[in-house]
Structure 1
């Protein structure tokens, strides 16, 4: 019965007021991924992925079978620095998402990264209409 209610039972810690604040506010996996928009422009799809703070070299695009795997990685700073942080919120790690490429011409995909937005042009496969022939009767 409790699974049907829209509220969760949580235990709050008075000594840690911001315990799981990000997950409560943004949702479970909101901070572990990146946002994408995909538009249909007739002959192609255009995908825009928000990847702010990444260098172009930190982003990898791999095609495996019928899947496009987009990976972005923030590398951790070296521990040689003796900075005395009071608070550190920027995270380091990798983000990865997969997209289905069914119906996409994978040989002609183009990608551009500018101002924190990765733009992919995904051209649609041209429909191959079956060839019709007339057979001659002997």
Structure 2
């Protein structure tokens, strides 16, 4: 599984080769994203297996989303054995610039560099 941020959304890629698309389930509950899938065992009969290393069974992965994800607009696609889940970032979680303004009661004193030595000599 890979997860990265691209602009205003996160993208999750999970390799699920050989998985029946109907068995893939993506859900969100309580801030937890859950991905489930099932890969069925092969049903070849009357064969003598020389090697059997392909995975069969269930797959489940969970991620905590936090407050920065818009869970109402999560989208998922499954194509060529790869599940892609797009997780949009909520507006309030996007980076923004904060303007800094001077305080109203702040008093400013400007000392010109040329005047500084003269003021020191007058005292």
Judge same fold: TM > 0.5, yes or no.
Answer: yes
- The correspondence of residues 22-101 of structure 1 with structure 2, limited to 5 A, is 36-78=1-43, 81-101=45-65
Match of 1:127, SS state, is helix
Under a length normalisation based on structure 1, what TM-score does the superposition of the two structures give? 0.60
Q: Note the aligned Cα RMSD (angstroms).
A: 1.9
Report how many aligned residue pairs link the two structures.
92
Deviations along 1:48-95, one digit per CA (max 9) or x if unpaired, are 11111212112111212110111111122448x232222222221111
**Which has more radius of gyration?**
2
What are the ranges of 5 or more consecutive residues in structure 2 without an aligned counterpart?
Answer: 94-123
Distance in 2 of aligned mates of 1:91 and 1:82: 21
Gaps spanning 5+ residues in structure 1: where? 1-35, 129-138
Which residue number in structure 1 is paired with residue 81 of structure 2? 116
Higher relative contact order (CA 8 A, sep 6+): 2
